[in-house]
């Protein structure tokens, strides 16, 4: 983690990451959609937000508690990661996956799914003159095997099944 040219701090790869590889889990305090709306109004005045929709009822707020993945910045033009909501034993998790090979030292970025007229000002600084994006910026995966409590830390789609060193 270090200063980012995109916004505030960013998360950077400390080792090479292969395309389609599991990178990290986005964690935070689970709050209701109503509470997230209330917090979002406050966070917008601070030019920052770590809110992430988990499902139709809940949002993860990583402002005060959360993994380093809360520092993965937005890039709607050329993201190198994507977020996927996965269900493990009926519990939803937000996971971050590499879209392409990522080099050591490269900043990790994904598309937050902001529409140009809705996202905060900072999210649009790098935006080109493209039209609004569809809000379906992450994929929902269900039916994963419930093998262990740390399933997400030990399994990925690649042959490299160790936890990311980021």
State the architecture of 2-27+67-119+137-154 in CATH terms: Beta Complex (2.170)
**Which residue blocks in the chain are alpha helix, DSSP H?**
33-45, 151-154
- Pairing mode, if any, of strands 139-144 and 22-26? unpaired
pLDDT in 10s for each residue of the chain, 166 residues: 888 888 889 999 999 999 999 999 999 999 999 999 999 999 989 888 889 998 889 999 999 988 888 888 888 889 999 999 998 888 889 999 999 999 999 999 999 886 644 444 433 444 443 344 343 444 444 334 333 333 343 333 333 434 455 5
Other CB atoms within 10 Å distance of the CB of residue 160 = 13
Domain boundaries, the chain: 2-27+67-119+137-154
Query: Which DSSP string do the residues of 78-107 spell out, in sequence order?
Result: S-SEEEEEEEETTEEEEEEEESS-B-TTPB
């Amino acid at each position: 983690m270090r200063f980012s040219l995109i916004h505030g701090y960013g998360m950077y790869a400390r080792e090479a990451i292969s395309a389609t590889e599991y990178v990290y889990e986005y964690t935070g305090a689970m709050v209701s959609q109503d509470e997230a709306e209330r917090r979002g109004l406050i966070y917008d005045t601070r030019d920052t937000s770590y809110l992430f929709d988990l499902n139709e009822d809940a949002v993860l707020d990583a402002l005060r508690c959360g993994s380093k993945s809360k520092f993965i910045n937005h890039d709607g033009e050329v993201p190198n990661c994507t977020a996927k909501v996965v269900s493990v034993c009926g519990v939803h998790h937000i996971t971050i996956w590499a879209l392409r090979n990522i080099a050591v030292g490269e900043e990790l970025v994904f598309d937050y799914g902001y529409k140009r007229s809705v996202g905060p000002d900072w999210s649009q600084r790098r935006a080109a003159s493209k039209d609004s994006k569809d809000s379906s910026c992450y994929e929902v995966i269900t039916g994963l095997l419930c093998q262990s409590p740390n399933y997400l830390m030990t399994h990925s789609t690649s042959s490299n099944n160790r936890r990311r060193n980021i």
